[in-house]
Amino acid sequence: RHLVAALLTSGECSKIFCLVRAADPQSAQRRVEEALSKIGIAASEIIEAVPGDLSQRNFGRSFVEVQRMAGRVTHVFHSAARVNLTEPFDMMRKDNVDATAHLLEFCSMVRSKPFHHISTMGVLTPDMLDRHGSVRENAPLGDIRCMPLYGTGDQANGYPQSKWLAEMMVFEAARQGLPAFVHRPGLIGGNSLTGAS
């Protein structure tokens, strides 16, 4: 909701599509409006809520509908994720890895669209550090085997591993020519002025 609010208040968007898990367009629109109202943003006619599921190919919609939408969308911001530090990778894959793959495919439909992927600092590994102990923005992803362990046994690292794999797919898409950007916020919290989260 904060990302949508920022796009809305920027004044640079003529239309904002929000893909939302919902049964129909009215339910999707209601979910978006309720989320925005929680942070003090009024509904706007430039926001179009689209019912769908990122974890499904074509977002669970018909190919024709997705093609039509792909012709209208100019940029994609992907901030949806399943965040749980106790679940294993297999439980995170559908929402974090497959969803990213489906959005990358969407970004290649009709015309190329810049893809902004919101990831996590949890993908950083010690082998990414430079000699000053910093991770440069252009540092390639490190070896997944160097990732610090969260949890125990097969429960360890499901979330950061799924985000690491999603990032690898984004970097591969960029290598193949898609304008792609990875953003790794250190901490996502409430609004610094209102406290709304």
Q: Is the pLDDT of residue 1 over 60?
A: yes
What are the Cα distances from residue 113, in Å, to 50, 136, 174?
18, 26, 11
How many CB atoms neighbour CB 124 within 10 A?
21
What pTM did the predictor assign? Answer: 0.87
pLDDT in the model for residue 31: 93
Which range has highest mean pLDDT (34-38, 145-149, 167-171)?
167-171
Contact 138, 149 (CB under 8 A): no
Q: Which residues contact 130 (CB under 8 A, 6 or more apart)?
A: 136, 139
- pLDDT band at residue 111 using 50, 70 and 90 as cut-offs: very high
pLDDT in the model for residue 45: 87
Q: What is the mean pLDDT of residues 111-134?
A: 90
Q: What is the mean pLDDT of residues 132-147?
A: 84
Span between the terminal Cα atoms of the chain, in Å:
9
Pairing of strands 180-183, 115-118: parallel
Range scoring the smallest mean pLDDT among 37-46, 54-63, 166-175: 37-46
Mean pLDDT of the chain: 88
- pLDDT band at residue 98 using 50, 70 and 90 as cut-offs: very high
pLDDT in the model for residue 155: 56
pLDDT in the model for residue 75: 94
Q: Phi then psi for 48, rounded to 5 degrees?
A: -120, 110
Angle formed by the axes of helices 25-37 and 2-10, nearest 10°:
90
